[in-house]
Amino acid sequence: MINKRSLWFFTLFSLILVLSIYYITMPSEMLLNNNSKSTTKKESVNNSNEQVTVNIEESDLLAALRVESDSEMESEIENLKMVLTDDKTSTDDKNKAYEKIKKLNNNRSEEENLEKKVKDEFNLDAFIKIEDDQIKVTIDSDIHDNSLANKIMRSIQSNYDTNKYISVKFQK
């Protein structure tokens, strides 16, 4: 006898299986055309050989830093959520875990606001990481300009009442 749960499981599993087979067998040209929103495509034809160059708008370094930071934050939040849901954990530890999650979320929103501020004021792509009173700024630029770094530090410091240790690093 098949119950409702088994029927739903079988239906969803079948759907996932069909979609994954479709995705695997789909030609790679279709994938490149579908991802054209975030990438630009240049084609040059040489003696019936087709060469495709894909340029990504955002720096690979900044994207890698964001992915690494997000994965660290997600794993830390996951660990803290396990503390919150554990029955054996004391109320005091649960409160500390909750406060830590709030702090991580606040830091992430501050980082995004500061990145937007640097983008608006200086027209530079940046990755910003906040850890306690330290703020690490990575700018996507080949030019290492001390006066620009000083202006960026002053602009970021203007958002805080207390002094922060701000470091600016230029990388391409």
Q: What is the pLDDT of residues 49-64, one digit of tens each?
A: 556 565 545 567 888 8
What does DSSP assign to residue 162?
S
Q: pLDDT value at position 102? A: 92
In this structure, what token pair is assigned to residue 135?
A: 């703020």
Helix (H, G, I), strand (E, B) or coil at 160: coil
The model carries a pTM of: 0.62
Domains of the chain: 4-56 (no CATH), 60-171 (1.10.287.4300)
| Run of H or E including 29 | helix 28-34
Q: What is the pLDDT of residues 78-112, one digit of tens each?
A: 999 998 888 888 889 989 999 999 999 999 999 99
